[in-house]
């Protein structure tokens, strides 16, 4: 069956709209937030850890409320969720540039976290699961990569704005960008599921021929297996550790400064890591369509372990930069591997039931480890202990993979 140009355009527009909310909710408001910490904390006369706590609070609120959002969202209200979330996040971020009280920053951080819970995370993956069966891995990786794209672009942009116009204008710009990037998904006319508008998932018949599922009537069925509580805990721990590791690159500037490099070298290392983030997410999604997400996860874990060897040895600046670039592979594990494995292992119905809880603990890890690696350095006077901790986390993740995929051809009970 030949697909019309209008049908192809619809799938492309949905991907573009999802890229927008991926960029706004993670790339703009989280990956780029670090450039504000030093300047704002110095201006307010407080410690960076005290100031950056607003980001921790924001992430925790998002994590817990996403569970509620996932249960309440449906075809008839999902656009209202997105609009309300965009307004809350955008306005709260703009108002951060209009205060000098840390408790107000905390309050605005909580408000922004509430807003993101209404449109981020579960929304992206539900829509991709419903609309993309063939090339599902590529779609997931491509959309997730835009968090890195936005971070790589906006971090230097905000840094320039802070230097020229001040941090208050920087936060106002950040809030406006959140709203602008969410406009495509707000304005685009589409349903939460293609069946509501008489459409089908992308290349559904082709996917069925490849044994990826069967499209019957208005619903696409993938063989479902019940997720036991033990396996659910495994996925939650996997997400907790993987997302926790993604906070480590924020310490690259401090790590390289401790080795005698300039702050500009550290900033360049972070940029290279974000570029690695982009490329490995897209690569992960594409490879998983052919080899399965478990094998690609092991590959990316190996790449990340190799990157840490290069960073620890620090025998030359070039190898350090290569290590920083390869470390970006951890983002593909946290953002692409987890949702793909859940769907691949248990199917769409179980996915929508268990992913919110997996996402919850993952974001708790993200919030907690923002400061943990810094405290490790403060206590030990070296980042070597932090590298060892990351190695340990990755060994645990490999063990978790073995449990999840043990006897993978039969339902897990």
Tell me what the pLDDT averaged over the chain comes to. Answer: 82
Tens digit of each residue's pLDDT (9 = 90 or more) over 30-65: 877 877 877 888 899 887 678 878 888 888 888 888
Q: Any idea what DSSP says for residue 132?
A: B
- Of residues 110 and 10, the one with the higher pLDDT is 110
What the block records as the tokens of 286 is: 């594409």
Q: Express as a percent the part of the chain with pLDDT over 70.
A: 89
Question: Alpha-carbon distance 58 to 81, whole Å?
Answer: 18
Residue 278 has pLDDT above 60, yes or no: yes
Residue 218 has pLDDT above 60, yes or no: no
Domains, the chain: 1-197 (1.20.1250.20), 225-406 (1.20.1250.20)
Mapped to the 3 state alphabet, what secondary structure does 260-276 carry? CCCHHHHHHHHHHHHHH
Asked if residue 324 lies in contact with residue 276, where contact means CB atoms within 8 angstroms, the answer is: yes
Full-model pTM: 0.78
- Those residues with Cβ within 8 angstroms of residue 225's Cβ, 6 or more apart along the chain or in another chain: 345, 346, 347, 350, 410, 411, 412
Tens digit of each residue's pLDDT (9 = 90 or more) over 110-130: 999 999 988 876 677 778 878
Residue found by looking up tokens 């685009």 in the block: 188
Residue 255 has pLDDT above 80, yes or no: yes
Q: Quick one: pLDDT at residue 216?
A: 41
Q: Quick one: pLDDT at residue 41?
A: 84
Q: How many CB atoms lie within 10 A of CB 182?
A: 26
Question: Alpha-carbon distance 326 to 302, whole Å?
Answer: 10
Tens digit of each residue's pLDDT (9 = 90 or more) over 67-89: 788 778 777 888 899 999 999 99
User: Using CB atoms within 10 A of its CB, is residue 297 exposed (0-12), middle (13-18) or buried (19+)?
Assistant: buried
pLDDT category at 134 given cuts 50, 70, 90 is low
Q: Quick one: pLDDT at residue 225?
A: 56
Sign of CA dihedral 312, 314, 318, 319: negative
Tens digit of each residue's pLDDT (9 = 90 or more) over 17-27: 999 998 998 88
What the block records as the tokens of 54 is: 């607003």
Range of lowest pLDDT (12-26, 98-112, 145-159, 163-177): 145-159
Distance from the Cα of residue 189 to its chain's centroid:
25
Tens digit of each residue's pLDDT (9 = 90 or more) over 351-405: 777 877 888 888 888 878 877 777 777 777 778 888 999 999 999 999 999 888 7
Q: Quick one: pLDDT at residue 112?
A: 94
Tens digit of each residue's pLDDT (9 = 90 or more) over 298-352: 999 999 999 999 999 877 889 999 999 999 999 988 888 888 888 777 776 677 7
| Per-residue CA distances from 271 to 277, 305, 368 (Å) | 10, 19, 23
H/E element, 171: helix 167-187
């Amino acid at each position: 069956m030949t697909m019309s140009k209008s049908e192809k355009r619809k799938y492309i527009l949905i991907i573009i709209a999802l890229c927008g909310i991926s960029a706004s909710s993670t790339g703009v408001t989280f990956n780029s937030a670090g450039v504000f910490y030093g300047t704002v904390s110095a201006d307010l006369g407080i410690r960076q850890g005290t100031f950056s706590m607003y980001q921790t609070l924001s992430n925790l609120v998002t994590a817990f409320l996403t569970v509620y959002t996932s249960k309440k969202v449906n075809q008839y209200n999902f656009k209202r969720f997105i609009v309300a979330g965009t307004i809350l996040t955008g306005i709260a971020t703009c108002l951060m540039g209009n205060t000098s009280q840390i408790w107000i920053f905390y309050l605005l951080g909580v408000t922004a976290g509430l807003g993101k819970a209404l449109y981020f995370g579960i929304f992206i993956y539900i829509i991709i699961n419903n609309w993309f069966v063939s090339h599902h891995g590529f779609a997931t990786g491509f959309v997730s990569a835009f968090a890195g794209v936005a971070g790589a672009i906006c971090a230097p942009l905000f840094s320039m704005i802070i230097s020229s116009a001040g941090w208050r204008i920087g936060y106002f710009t950040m809030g406006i960008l959140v709203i602008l990037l969410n406009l495509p998904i707000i304005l685009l006319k589409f349903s939460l599921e293609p069946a509501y508008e008489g459409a089908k998932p992308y290349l559904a018949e082709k996917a069925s021929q490849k044994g990826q599922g069967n499209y019957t009537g208005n619903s696409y069925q993938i063989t479902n297996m019940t997720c036991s509580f033990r396996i659910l805990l495994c996925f939650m721990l996997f997400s907790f550790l993987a997302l926790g590791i993604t906070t480590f690159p924020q310490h690259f500037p401090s790590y390289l400064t401790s080795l005698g490099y300039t702050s500009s070298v550290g900033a360049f290392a972070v940029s290279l890591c974000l570029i690695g983030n982009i490329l490995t997410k897209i690569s992960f999604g594409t490879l998983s369509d052919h080899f399965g997400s478990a094998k690609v996860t092991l590959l990316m874990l190996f790449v990340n372990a190799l990157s840490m060897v290069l960073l620890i040895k620090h025998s030359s600046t070039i190898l350090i930069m290569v290590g920083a670039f390869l470390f970006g592979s951890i983002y593909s594990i946290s953002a692409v591997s987890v949702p793909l494995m859940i769907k691949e292992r248990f199917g769409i119905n179980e996915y929508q039931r268990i992913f919110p809880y997996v996402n919850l603990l993952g974001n708790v890890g993200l919030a907690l480890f923002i400061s943990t690696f810094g405290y490790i350095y403060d206590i030990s006077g070296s980042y070597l202990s932090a590298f060892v901790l990351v190695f340990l986390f990755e060994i645990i993740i490999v063990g978790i993979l073995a449990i999840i995929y043990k006897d993978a051809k039969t339902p897990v009970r």
